[in-house]
Structure 1
Amino acid sequence: MKWSTRIGRLFGIDVYVHFTFLLLLAFLGFVTWQRTHDVYAALAGVAFILGLFGCVLLHEFGHALMARRYGIETRDITLLPIGGLARLERMPEHPLQELWVALAGPAVNVVIALVLYAGLAFTGGFLEATNLDVPFDLRAMLQRLMVVNVFLVLFNLLPAFPMDGGRVLRALLATKLGRRRATAIAANVGQAMAIVFGIVGFMSNPFLVFIAIFVYLGAQAEAGMVEMQSALEGLRVRDAMMTRFRTLGADDTLAKATDELLAGSQQDFPVIAEGAPVGILRRNDLVKALGQNRRDTPVSEVMCRECATAEAGSSLKRVVESMHERQCGTIPVVQAGQIVGLLTLENVSEMIMVNAALEQRGQALAHG
C-alpha cells in the first residue's frame, strides 16, 4: 500500500504502518497534552494506542494464519488509523473456510481479553472506573486494554461488511443460498445497519456517522466485487482481451509515445524488447514525465515493471483479482511468450455490461 513503511516481518508476513497512523499518534498525543498540559499523560496516551494497535495486529495475524491453513497466503498486513488490513492473496470461497478465517480475528481478541482478565484477577483485582485514566499506571492500562478488546470483539462481529461479522453472516447463508445470493443479503443487512448508525450519529455521536459511511461503502464494494466475480466465472483472459492495440519499443522516446496516445483512444501501451513485453507505459506516468520536460527520455525509464503479464488461457477471474490487488489497470496478454492481446479493467467492465444486457434480452425473449 502506498505511503506505508515496513516495520518488520512475522510468520513470513511483512508488516507495514501507514503514515496516517503516525499522524494519528501525533494528533492524540497533542490533544492529550493540550487537555492536561502533562507530557507524561500525553506519552501514556500514545503508549495505550500502541498497545491497542498491537492487539489489532494480533487480530489480523489471526485471520492470516487461519487462511494459511487453507493454503491462502497473506501478502502483507498494514496498520491504518481505522484498524488493520491483512491482504490475503484471495478470499476463501468455501463457506466453512471463510467462516473460520473470519472468526479467527475476533477469537484472538477474546484470548487477549481473557489473559488480561486472569492476570488482573490474580494480581490484585480490578480498579474503579474513575482510576483508569492514571498516566503510566500499568494495571490501569491493562484493564483498559481488556475492555477495548471486548469492544473489538463485539464491534467486529456486527453482521455488516466489511467487518468480520458480515463475512460470518455470508458464510452461514452461503451454505444454503450460494455465495452470490448470500453476499447480496449480507450487503443489504450491512447497509441497513449503516443507515441506522448514521441516523443515531446525527442525533448523538458524529463518530457514528463516519462508521456508517465506512460500513455502507464497504458493503457496497463487497457486493459489487462478488457480482463481478460471478460474471467472470468460467471465462478465460482471451475472452475479454483487446486484440487491436499499439505497442512501443523499450528504446522509443516519450515523444513517440505521445504521438501514439493522441492518435487513438488507447491509454496504456505495452513495451516490447526482443519480441517480449517488459512493461507498461501508463498514461499518467507519461503525462507526469512530459511535465518534467522529458520528451526525449526512453520509454524504458518511465514504464511500469510491476504489472506482470497474463496467459491467454488463464482464469479471467483470478487475473482480474490480481490486477485489483496490484493496482494495475492494464496488462499484456501472452501466448507462447508472444504478446497476443491487452487486458484492461475498463474492457472487462464493458464485457460484463454487454453480457448482462444480452442475458436480460434472452430472459425477456424466453418469457415473451
Structure 2
Amino acid sequence: MTVLTRIETTIGSAFGIGRVRVHPLFIALLVGAYFTHLLQTALLLFTFVMLHELGHAFTARFCGYEVEEVSLLPFGGVAKLSYARLGFQPRDEALVAIAGPFVNLLLCILSATLYGMHVIDLTLYQQSMQLNIWIGVFNLLPGLPLDGGRILRAARSRQVGYERATMEAYNLAFALSILLMLTGIVALYTGHPHFGMMLLGLFLFVTAWRGRKDTRAETMRFLDAKRRQDNSVLKMQSLAVRSPTPIRDVVVQFAPDRYHIVYVLGEDGLVLALLEETELLDAVFEGRWLEPVMDLVHEP
C-alpha cells in the first residue's frame, strides 16, 4: 500500500467511508498550482470539493447506503456505493444529488458570515465565494453524470421509465458540453481565453459518452434490481402494448418505485390479456428479450 493510498484510506475512515480517493487530475492541478503560485486557491478548491462530495456521502449513508469510495475531481466527485444504485430509487437519488450543491451554498453563507465578522480578509472571502458558486452551479447543470442530471433523471424516471430518463439526461449533457466548449472558443477569439470552460465541456462530453454507451447494461441492472425488490408496498402503473411488441420494448419503459401491469392489445385494439411485471422480468432473464409479448400470453 502506497503512502497516498494510506492517506486516502485514513481520511475515508475518519468520515465513515471506505476510502477518499484523489483523482490524478486533481493531483496534477495541485502540483501545477504550486509552481504557478496558486497553491492557496488550489487547496481551497480541494477543500470545497471534498466537502461537496462528503455532503453526498453523508446523505447517502443517511438514506441507508454504504459508501465504499469517494473520488475527488477538480469539479466535484463520484461516490461509489455498495450493492446499490441510487438511480433505482428516485427520491434517494434526488436527495443525495442536491446535498453536494447545498453544502456549497452553506459554505457561501459561512464565508459571508466570517467576512462580516472580520475573521477572514476580502481576498479569501472572494475566493471562497467564487469557488463554491462555480462548483455548485456547474454540478447543477441538468446532464449526467452531474448532480443536476441525477435530479433530472429522478424527476423523469417515474414518468417515462428509467432508461429513457437516463438517455435524456445524457443527451442534455452532450448539448451542454458542446455549449461550454463553443463558449470557451468564442472567449478565446475575443481575447478573453477561458481554458477552464473548454476543459469542463470536454470532460462532460467524454464522461457522458462513456455513460451513454453503458445505458443498456445499466438498464439490465435496473431490471434485475426490480426483479429482486420487495413488491409489498408499491404504486401500480399500467402500460398498453400491441401483441407483436418485443418484450425488450416493454420493460425499458419500466419506472422505479412502481409495479407494472401490461395490457396486451390485439389487432382490433381490444385487450387480449394482462401481464404482470414479474412475468416480463422473468422472461428477460431467461433470455427471451426479443420475443413478442404475445408469446407470454399463449403460455399455459
**TM-score bracket for the superposition, by shorter chain length:** 0.5 to 0.7
For 1:161, the aligned partner's letter is L
Q: CA deviation at 1:19?
A: 4.5
What is the alpha-carbon distance in structure 2 between the residues aligned to residue 157 and residue 235 of structure 1?
Answer: 29
Of 5, 10, 16, the residue aligned with 2:14 is: 10
Check whether the contact 1:61–1:105 (CA below 8 A) recurs between aligned residues.
yes
Of 102, 116, 135, the residue aligned with 1:152 is: 135
Change in 2 beyond 3 A, CA 1:6/1:80: farther
In the TM superposition, what whole-angstrom CA distance separates every residue of 1:136-181 from its partner, at most 9, and x where no partner exists? x844113311221122211110111221111111111113222111
Counterpart in 2 of 1:349? none
Q: CA deviation at 1:232?
A: 4.9
Q: CA deviation at 1:4?
A: 5.4
Q: Does 1:198 align with 2:192?
A: no
Higher relative contact order (CA 8 A, sep 6+): 2
Counterpart in 1 of 2:215? 226
SS, match of residue 86 in structure 1: strand
What is the alpha-carbon distance in structure 1 between the residues aligned to residue 55 and residue 164 of structure 2?
Answer: 27
For 1:114, the aligned partner's letter is I
Counterpart in 2 of 1:264? none
SS, match of residue 5 in structure 1: helix
Counterpart in 2 of 1:103? 98
Of 42, 45, 69, the residue aligned with 1:52 is: 45
Check whether the contact 1:191–1:219 (CA below 8 A) recurs between aligned residues.
yes
What is the alpha-carbon distance in structure 1 between the residues aligned to residue 23 and residue 206 of structure 2?
Answer: 21
What is the alpha-carbon distance in structure 1 between the residues aligned to residue 30 and residue 137 of structure 2?
Answer: 24
What is the alpha-carbon distance in structure 1 between the residues aligned to residue 117 and residue 173 of structure 2?
Answer: 40
TM-score by length of 1: 0.53
Change in 2 beyond 3 A, CA 1:209/1:22: closer
Contiguous gaps of at least 5 residues in structure 2: 188-193, 226-283, 294-300
SS, match of residue 15 in structure 1: strand
Counterpart in 1 of 2:63? 70
Change in 2 beyond 3 A, CA 1:180/1:22: closer
What is the alpha-carbon distance in structure 2 between the residues aligned to residue 111 and residue 233 of structure 1?
Answer: 34
For 2:112, the aligned partner's letter is Y
Q: Which has the larger radius of gyration?
A: 1
TM-score by length of 2: 0.64
Q: CA deviation at 1:82?
A: 4.7
For 1:17, the aligned partner's letter is V
Check whether the contact 1:120–1:143 (CA below 8 A) recurs between aligned residues.
no
Aligned residues: 221
Instruction: Give the fraction of aligned pairs with identical amino acids, expressed as a percent.
Output: 32
Q: CA deviation at 1:225?
A: 3.0
Q: Does 1:86 align with 2:79?
A: yes
Change in 2 beyond 3 A, CA 1:28/1:213: same
Counterpart in 1 of 2:269? none
For 1:148, the aligned partner's letter is L
What is the alpha-carbon distance in structure 1 between the residues aligned to residue 204 and residue 47 of structure 2?
Answer: 23
